Amino acid sequence: MKIGEAAAVVGAPTRMLRYYEQQGLIQSTRSANGYREYSDEQVEHARHVRALVQAGLSTRMIKIVLDIEAPQPGQQSASCSRALAEDLARELRVVEDRIVCLEKSRDAVIHYLQHTDHADLLSPARP
Protein backbone atom coordinates (compact mmCIF):
# COMPACT_ATOMS: atom_id res chain seq x y z
CA MET A 1 0.00 0.00 0.00
CA LYS A 2 1.10 3.58 -0.60
CA ILE A 3 2.25 5.87 2.20
CA GLY A 4 -1.11 7.65 2.57
CA GLU A 5 -2.94 4.38 3.07
CA ALA A 6 -0.27 3.09 5.44
CA ALA A 7 -0.39 6.32 7.44
CA ALA A 8 -4.15 5.98 7.84
CA VAL A 9 -3.82 2.40 9.08
CA VAL A 10 -0.97 3.30 11.45
CA GLY A 11 -2.75 6.41 12.72
CA ALA A 12 0.14 8.75 11.99
CA PRO A 13 0.69 11.50 9.45
CA THR A 14 2.68 10.57 6.35
CA ARG A 15 5.49 12.85 7.46
CA MET A 16 5.84 10.73 10.63
CA LEU A 17 6.28 7.58 8.55
CA ARG A 18 8.96 9.37 6.54
CA TYR A 19 10.63 10.45 9.80
CA TYR A 20 10.49 6.91 11.24
CA GLU A 21 12.10 5.67 8.05
CA GLN A 22 14.78 8.38 8.19
CA GLN A 23 15.55 7.32 11.77
CA GLY A 24 15.90 3.68 10.70
CA LEU A 25 12.85 2.54 12.65
CA ILE A 26 10.81 1.32 9.67
CA GLN A 27 11.45 0.42 6.05
CA SER A 28 9.52 0.76 2.85
CA THR A 29 10.12 -0.41 -0.66
CA ARG A 30 10.02 1.87 -3.67
CA SER A 31 7.80 1.40 -6.69
CA ALA A 32 9.06 2.05 -10.21
CA ASN A 33 7.90 5.68 -9.96
CA GLY A 34 9.74 6.15 -6.64
CA TYR A 35 6.67 6.08 -4.37
CA ARG A 36 6.98 4.41 -1.01
CA GLU A 37 5.15 1.09 -0.77
CA TYR A 38 4.44 -0.78 2.46
CA SER A 39 3.65 -4.46 2.88
CA ASP A 40 1.20 -5.60 5.56
CA GLU A 41 4.19 -6.68 7.66
CA GLN A 42 5.85 -3.27 7.28
CA VAL A 43 2.60 -1.52 8.26
CA GLU A 44 2.28 -3.72 11.35
CA HIS A 45 5.88 -2.89 12.27
CA ALA A 46 5.12 0.83 11.82
CA ARG A 47 2.11 0.42 14.14
CA HIS A 48 4.42 -1.10 16.74
CA VAL A 49 6.82 1.84 16.39
CA ARG A 50 3.91 4.28 16.68
CA ALA A 51 2.76 2.55 19.88
CA LEU A 52 6.26 2.88 21.36
CA VAL A 53 6.31 6.58 20.43
CA GLN A 54 2.90 7.07 22.05
CA ALA A 55 4.20 5.29 25.15
CA GLY A 56 6.74 8.09 25.41
CA LEU A 57 9.94 6.40 24.27
CA SER A 58 12.42 8.48 22.32
CA THR A 59 13.31 7.36 18.82
CA ARG A 60 16.80 6.52 20.11
CA MET A 61 15.31 4.20 22.73
CA ILE A 62 12.86 2.73 20.23
CA LYS A 63 15.79 1.78 17.99
CA ILE A 64 17.37 -0.01 20.94
CA VAL A 65 14.12 -1.80 21.81
CA LEU A 66 13.62 -2.88 18.20
CA ASP A 67 17.18 -4.19 18.02
CA ILE A 68 16.61 -6.20 21.21
CA GLU A 69 13.27 -7.54 19.94
CA ALA A 70 14.79 -8.71 16.65
CA PRO A 71 18.23 -10.23 17.24
CA GLN A 72 20.44 -10.86 14.24
CA PRO A 73 20.06 -14.18 12.38
CA GLY A 74 21.85 -16.99 14.22
CA GLN A 75 21.90 -15.04 17.47
CA GLN A 76 19.67 -16.40 20.24
CA SER A 77 19.21 -13.09 22.01
CA ALA A 78 20.38 -9.55 21.56
CA SER A 79 23.52 -8.56 23.36
CA CYS A 80 23.15 -5.85 25.93
CA SER A 81 26.12 -3.97 27.29
CA ARG A 82 26.13 -2.58 30.81
CA ALA A 83 25.86 0.96 29.40
CA LEU A 84 22.84 -0.02 27.30
CA ALA A 85 21.20 -1.72 30.30
CA GLU A 86 21.76 1.45 32.35
CA ASP A 87 20.17 3.55 29.57
CA LEU A 88 17.18 1.23 29.51
CA ALA A 89 16.88 1.34 33.31
CA ARG A 90 16.90 5.16 33.20
CA GLU A 91 14.24 5.12 30.50
CA LEU A 92 12.18 2.72 32.59
CA ARG A 93 12.30 5.13 35.54
CA VAL A 94 11.16 7.98 33.28
CA VAL A 95 8.24 5.89 32.00
CA GLU A 96 7.30 4.80 35.53
CA ASP A 97 7.36 8.43 36.72
CA ARG A 98 5.13 9.35 33.80
CA ILE A 99 2.71 6.57 34.77
CA VAL A 100 2.54 7.84 38.36
CA CYS A 101 1.81 11.34 37.08
CA LEU A 102 -0.90 10.07 34.73
CA GLU A 103 -2.49 8.02 37.52
CA LYS A 104 -2.63 11.10 39.75
CA SER A 105 -4.22 13.11 36.94
CA ARG A 106 -6.75 10.36 36.29
CA ASP A 107 -7.62 10.11 39.99
CA ALA A 108 -8.07 13.89 40.25
CA VAL A 109 -10.45 13.93 37.28
CA ILE A 110 -12.41 10.97 38.69
CA HIS A 111 -12.65 12.66 42.08
CA TYR A 112 -13.85 15.88 40.49
CA LEU A 113 -16.48 14.16 38.34
CA GLN A 114 -17.71 12.11 41.30
CA HIS A 115 -18.51 15.36 43.08
CA THR A 116 -20.49 16.89 40.24
CA ASP A 117 -23.90 16.29 38.75
CA HIS A 118 -22.11 14.44 35.94
CA ALA A 119 -20.74 11.41 37.79
CA ASP A 120 -22.77 9.28 35.35
CA LEU A 121 -20.12 10.04 32.75
CA LEU A 122 -17.64 7.84 34.62
CA SER A 123 -17.42 4.27 33.40
CA PRO A 124 -19.10 1.76 35.73
CA ALA A 125 -15.80 0.04 36.57
CA ARG A 126 -14.45 3.17 38.30
CA PRO A 127 -14.45 3.32 42.13
pTM of this prediction exceeds 0.75: no
What was the pLDDT predicted at 48?
A: 94
Q: Predicted confidence band at 69 (pLDDT cuts at 50, 70, 90)?
A: confident
pLDDT in tens, 15-67: 999 999 999 999 999 999 999 999 999 999 999 999 999 988 888 889 888 88
Q: Please work out, in degrees rounded to the nearest 5, the angle formed at the alpha carbon of residue 47 by the alpha carbons of 72 and 91.
A: 70
Axis-axis angle for helices 40-54, 14-22 (nearest 10)? 90
What was the pLDDT predicted at 56?
A: 82
One CATH from 1.10.1040.10, 1.10.357.10, 2.30.30.140, 1.10.1660.10 for 1-79: 1.10.1660.10
Domain segments of the chain as ranges:
1-79, 81-127
